[in-house]
Amino acid sequence: MKSYKVEGNCMSPLIRNGDIVIGAETPVKALRRGNIVICRQADKFIIHRLIRINSDAVFTLGDAFGQTPEKIRITDILGKVITVLRHNNHYKLTRFNELMSWSMVRTKNVIKKLLRYNRNEETKITL
């Protein structure tokens, strides 16, 4: 297991800037959609949610609105986030927690897109 300090809010609200995450090496065959993974990308690390697994690569996505999927080589996956540390509190990420937070984020993003669409439609109306 290894710890990583989070810099940024791409996984907000579940994982926030300044949090410490604990990652555990996990075989790729054991990873599932919705898992939060730690990946090497150039000279930095990223923490994203796993959205698709192919034979040679995976696709990950941050939870924050407006993120775009990133293709990551399987060899660059370092492990899976198992615990989030925030203000002396430990939050263990179980499969249930991962799926619940993912479903809330997806619902929030759909609602934001619908609201943005409705605003755009309203501004197009001319008399």
Backbone angles phi, psi at 45, to 5 degrees: -115, 145
* Residue-wise pLDDT tens digits, 50-95: 989 998 899 998 888 777 889 999 999 999 999 999 998 888 887 7
CA gap 39, 99 in Å, rounded: 20
Q: Higher pLDDT residue, 45 or 97?
A: 45
pLDDT at 79: 94
Specify the DSSP class assigned to residue 1: -
Query: Please, which pLDDT band fits residue 124 given cuts at 50, 70 and 90?
Result: very low
Mean pLDDT of all residues in the chain? 83
Q: Dig out the tokens for 58 from the structure.
A: 């995976």
Q: Does 98 score more than 80 pLDDT?
A: no
> Which structural domains are found in the chain, ordered by start?
2-124 (2.10.109.10)
